[in-house]
């Protein structure tokens, strides 16, 4: 193994050079450009990094940590937390390196299988150097207004919500309010207007002035839903990403429950159950319950995943993975299939957390249109042969009927 490891880095460098030559890339010039950019970033970050390290050093040597341990000792005894762990709890939001050194000392002293050792490992793996990251990166790019960042950064992961908007003034306020009413508060709402001719933009601007989490993105030309969602994905910055149509609604605990579900199941892709609603947003008791999990082959036969129920973990997937194909209809279903080709399963949270508003004349409410759309996806997006398409189409129709019984 040692013999092999000696050649890993030279082999990687050689592969990069050969690939560059085959692609006719000016390797040395590209390397120099990258090095220049890297040095610029390093110089920009260095003053902040130096200041952070000095402050951490002062904190460690000031005796404040020891005094804090003594103050917190009664509280730690109340919750059965070993006092040896308290310094790690204090330092982890500030310095990963210092916390790692503390964890190593604790494991050497008490053992990796001890209660203290396991708590130290949990703190190292499931918490973040929050204040260090905020101080370093925000100050490096000269962002001063960070008062709204600290509390969400400590308590939760950011969820990006993408909403394509086209002449949706009739329902848009309801949809924005369904996000505002969520019990999970660490989100960004990205509304992508596709050249609406009604008052949709005015409504979005009204809400965005009141809440900085609400953002308007405008398409330059009318581009339909796929491009709108893709433009929203490009602007997103959350750990988790989900979609919401401009006329649909969520249960107020939808984000909270689904984020916890994603974490507990360590999954890349999840979806929830939903209920149909009338044009006024009133649920009509036609509920769609979903499987616990679904893979690519199963999803071809059962298009049970609905757009406003999905959530992706963007630490496990890339934005390219979830960009939607630019087809007139069914781009969302085609995207789920694309993602499921890369991962084993999408996992279902079988609770009614979303409400699918059905309006007269909508694309999704037209059964013939839905049948044509799915057949087109089989043949022209997935490129299935006529026999495979017919086989999957039969089960698609059967499952669609079951969902509506």
Give me the pLDDT at residue 142, please: 60
Most confident of 137-141, 153-157, 291-295, 358-362: 291-295
Instruction: Decide if pLDDT at 389 tops 60.
Output: yes
Percent of the chain clearing pLDDT 90 (strictly above): 44
Give me the pLDDT at residue 264, please: 92
Asked whether the beta carbons of 131 and 94 are under 8 A apart, the reply is yes
Instruction: Decide if pLDDT at 351 tops 80.
Output: yes
Average pLDDT over residues 254-268: 94
Range from 47-51, 182-186, 214-218 carrying the lowest mean pLDDT? 47-51
Q: What is the pLDDT of residues 283-313, one digit of tens each?
A: 888 888 899 999 999 999 988 899 999 999 9
Give me the pLDDT at residue 152, please: 57
Q: What is the pLDDT of residues 76-97, one digit of tens each?
A: 777 788 888 888 887 777 767 7
> Which residues lie below 8 Å from residue 185, measured CB to CB, with a gap of 6+?
152, 156
Q: What is the pLDDT of residues 199-251, one digit of tens each?
A: 999 999 999 999 999 999 999 999 999 999 999 999 999 999 999 999 999 99
Q: What is the pLDDT of residues 89-138, one digit of tens each?
A: 877 777 677 778 788 888 888 888 888 888 888 887 765 556 666 665 56
Mean residue pLDDT across the chain: 84
Average pLDDT over residues 309-328: 92
Average pLDDT over residues 263-271: 94
Domains, in order of start, for the chain: 41-155 (no CATH), 157-361 (3.90.550.10)
Average pLDDT over residues 38-52: 72
More confident residue, 365 or 322: 322
Torsion (CA) 235, 241, 245, 251 in degrees, nearest 10: -140
C-alpha to C-alpha distance for 64 and 68, rounded to whole angstroms = 6
Most confident of 4-8, 10-14, 81-85: 81-85
pLDDT band of residue 153 (cuts 50, 70, 90) is low
Give me the pLDDT at residue 291, please: 92
More confident residue, 347 or 365: 347
């Amino acid at each position: 193994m040692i013999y092999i490891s000696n050649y890993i880095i030279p082999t990687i460098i050689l592969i990069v050079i050969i690939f560059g030559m085959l692609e006719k890339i000016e390797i040395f010039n590209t390397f120099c450009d990258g090095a220049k950019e890297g040095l610029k970033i390093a110089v920009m970050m260095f003053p902040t990094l130096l200041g952070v390290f000095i402050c951490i050093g002062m904190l460690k040597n000031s005796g404040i940590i020891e005094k804090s341990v003594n103050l917190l000792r009664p509280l730690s005894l109340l919750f059965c937390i070993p006092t040896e762990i308290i310094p790690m709890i204090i330092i982890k939001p500030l310095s990963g390196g210092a916390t790692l050194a503390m964890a190593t000392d604790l494991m050497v002293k008490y053992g990796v299988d001890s209660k203290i050792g396991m708590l130290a490992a949990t703190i190292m793996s499931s918490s973040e150097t929050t204040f260090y990251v905020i101080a370093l990166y925000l100050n490096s790019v000269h962002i001063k207004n960070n008062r709204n960042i600290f509390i969400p950064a400590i308590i939760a992961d950011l969820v990006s919500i993408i909403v394509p908007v086209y002449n949706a003034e009739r329902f848009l306020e309801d949809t924005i309010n369904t996000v505002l009413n969520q019990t999970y508060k660490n989100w960004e709402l990205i509304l992508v207007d596709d050249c609406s001719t009604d008052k949709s933009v005015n409504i979005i601007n009204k809400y965005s002035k009141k809440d900085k989490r609400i953002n308007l993105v405008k398409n330059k030309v009318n581009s339909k839903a796929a491009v709108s969602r893709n433009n929203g994905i490009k602007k997103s910055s959350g750990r988790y990403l989900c979609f919401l149509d401009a006329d649909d609604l969520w249960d107020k605990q939808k984000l909270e429950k689904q984020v916890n579900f994603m974490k507990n199941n360590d999954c890349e892709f999840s979806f929830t159950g939903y209920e149909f609603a009338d044009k006024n947003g009133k649920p009509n008791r036609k509920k769609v319950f979903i499987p616990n999990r679904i893979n690519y082959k199963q999803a071809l036969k059962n298009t049970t995943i609905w757009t406003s129920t999905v959530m992706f973990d963007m630490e496990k997937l890339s934005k390219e993975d979830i960009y939607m194909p630019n087809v007139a209809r069914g781009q969302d279903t085609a995207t789920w299939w694309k993602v499921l080709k890369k991962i084993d399963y999408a996992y279902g949270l079988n609770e009614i957390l979303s409400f699918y508003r059905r309006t007269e004349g909508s694309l999704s409410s037209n059964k013939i249109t839905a049948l044509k759309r799915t057949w087109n996806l089989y043949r022209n997006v997935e490129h299935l042969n006529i026999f495979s398409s017919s086989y999957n189409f039969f089960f698609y129709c059967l499952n669609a009927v079951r969902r509506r019984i």
